[in-house]
Amino acid sequence: MKKFLLLLSLLCFYSCEKTEEDVSIFWEDEFYPQVFFSYPGRFVPIGKKRNVRDEILRIIRDTEVSIYMHIYSFDDPEIEAELIQANRRGVRLELMGELGKTYPVSLLPFLKYWKGTGLQHTKVLVSDRSLVFIGTGNFTYYGLEQDHNGYLEFKMDRSEWGKFHSFLKEEYPFPVLKIAGLEFWNSPMEGNLIQNRLFDSVLSSKHSIRYLIFDHYDPILSSGFTRVDHGSIGGIYNRPVDPEGEILSGLPGIEILEDGNEDILDDPTIGKGGLLHHKTMILDDSEVLTGSYNYSLSARDSNREIFIRIRNERVSKEFQEEWENIKSKSKTVNVSVSELPVHEHSFDSENDQICRSGTQPEDSFLEIGFIWFHWYNLYRWKEESCKSVTDYLSISSRHFGGKNEFPKEGTEDLGIRQFSRSGRFGFSLPKSDLMEEFHSAIGRPSHFLRPSQFLGTAGAWIFPNESELRGLISENVPQNVWILDRGKLPKKLGISLEEGVYYLSENISSNSAVVLVEYENFGLYFCYKTINYNLNWPEQILFAVYNSRESSNFPERYSKSDLDFFAEQGLPDQRRKNLCVISL
């Protein structure tokens, strides 16, 4: 009884000290993020079938100041009417749409169009800069009721709106946004990082993977599935199953099913209802990967997508239950897949080629490098016996750049492992001693500091005195410097420090590079360019380094220096246009 009274008094003290909004958030945090699913089916009760639409209508109805939306398809008279009614009572509307889509005339005054390549494929509703409803489904009456979709609803402090808004506009300074217990990435800007996040989560899973997918055309992800050794993978596909699903269905330890949703609208237009429209993966009953991102090249490189990661057992349990619900109405895939060829592969280091023992058509994979200096390349063979190591498909994964940034000479120094389509391990080559050193260097905590002056021809620079990192670097002695030139292996140079000026052991001749100053317990990164150099691969490397650091959960002691480096001065939510120092 005394314990109860003590808890009651503490609660009363908290309530007296906090505002009404604070107390509300105190109670509500436990219930967010909330999870919603659409429930197609001709015999589903109307209340259950409308649950997503009714929640969207409630959010709009309760909005007092502003509504911000990202829409792809929009065709729901009730939601349209509620938005117009909200505007009439003074709510500000702002919508971002897809140029190739047709929208209700009543919404056109509030609509802007995404100007990037590909499709504006995101689906987001933000109320009063604090409540977010986001998921896999479009704002259409058939999508909300007759397709399988999943949604997250979460609250954020209004002070965090600036970050989330800049993320939605693709202006956020960092490659990943962490807010309200969720992690967000944009594609196509961070499409490579999303592909790698999926792949890494799959490889690190311990006991189970369950996924629901509309489009799966990524063999890299499929290769990740084949390499997992716990033998508990289940995938449910929209009908008909994609070729990647058909290949996986013939492999042990992987169960592939075809969605049985037949709740199709009586309409001549294809795709109105009857879809499994998820893009969702549940791993180890504790991690959920979802959003608008399909497993495809267009989602990675062209379309405007949002990818979400959440590590929450309660949320994972709800998604797992929905996976089981959809599975109960699905059909096992029994595709007759011809036996995958098994050839012996080897690496010809003299000619930088991968060779094989047979001539049958097949796919094979090379895993090259480590951490963010890492590639997972897909090679599609016809009848040839050897291929250049650069002759890989564009769906191959990387953390930055493209084929021109791949180190095509001396590739074997990075270490190579070969895998077949079925996940069979082939040959491996160890890293060279020098690349072992580089691996160790990039595995340390990373910091970012732009020189105030940089003279490439002399290999010299000065760091600004006012940096938050000034104390850290003044207390430590630089050991080496690594220069990352375009399409080359990292180069190790000596470094000296004289009266605040850093000198390399030799001059720099390239017109752009990333510089890693190696210390005993951390690495210091920056990039440089000549004034007319426009390619952005150096910036992509720095974003990959930052993303890798965030995934490693290193302590964040120098957040101000990160903002100084990645954000525009005085605009903490605006991505800096020029990350690299200009080489004089």
Q: What is the pLDDT of residue 267?
A: 64
Which residues in the chain come in under a pLDDT of 50? 1-27
Whats the size of the chain, residue-wise?
584
CA nearest neighbour of 448 among 549, 370, 369: 549
Looking at every residue in the chain, the average pLDDT score rounds to: 92
Q: What is the pLDDT of residue 342?
A: 82
Cα 584 to Cα 59, 65, 461: the distances in Å are: 55, 50, 10
Q: What is the pLDDT of residue 117?
A: 76
Q: What is the pLDDT of residue 300?
A: 98
- Phi, psi of 290, deg, nearest 5: -150, -170
DSSP 498: E
| Exposure of 583 in the CB half-sphere (CA atoms within 13 A) | 21
- Give the number of other Cβ atoms within 10 Å of residue 183's Cβ: 17
Q: Whose structure tokens read 């599935």? A: 225
**Pairwise CA distance, residues 203 & 431, whole Å:** 21
Q: Are 136 and 294 in contact (CB under 8 A)?
A: no
Q: What is the pLDDT of residue 550?
A: 85
CA nearest neighbour of 386 among 424, 341, 346, 342: 346
Q: What is the pLDDT of residue 557?
A: 80
Q: What is the pLDDT of residue 25?
A: 45
Q: Model confidence over 339-362: pLDDT tens digits?
A: 777 889 999 999 999 999 999 999
List domains and CATH numbers for the chain. 1-30 (no CATH), 31-179 (3.30.870.10), 187-332 (3.30.870.10), 345-431 (no CATH), 435-582 (no CATH)
**Pairwise CA distance, residues 462 & 90, whole Å:** 54
Q: Model confidence over 226-285: pLDDT tens digits?
A: 999 898 999 999 999 999 999 999 899 999 999 999 888 766 566 677 899 999 999 999
DSSP bridge partners of 365? 378, 419
Q: What is the pLDDT of residue 335?
A: 67
Q: Whose structure tokens read 């003290």? A: 13
Q: Model confidence over 374-429: pLDDT tens digits?
A: 999 999 999 999 999 999 999 999 999 999 999 999 999 999 999 999 999 999 99
Helix (H, G, I), strand (E, B) or coil at 448: strand
**Pairwise CA distance, residues 503 & 524, whole Å:** 15
Q: What is the pLDDT of residue 263?
A: 86
Q: What is the pLDDT of residue 164?
A: 98
Give me the helix-helix angle, 51-62 and 77-88, nearest 10°.
10
**Contacts for 101 with CB less than 8 Å, ≥ 6 apart:** 72, 73, 74
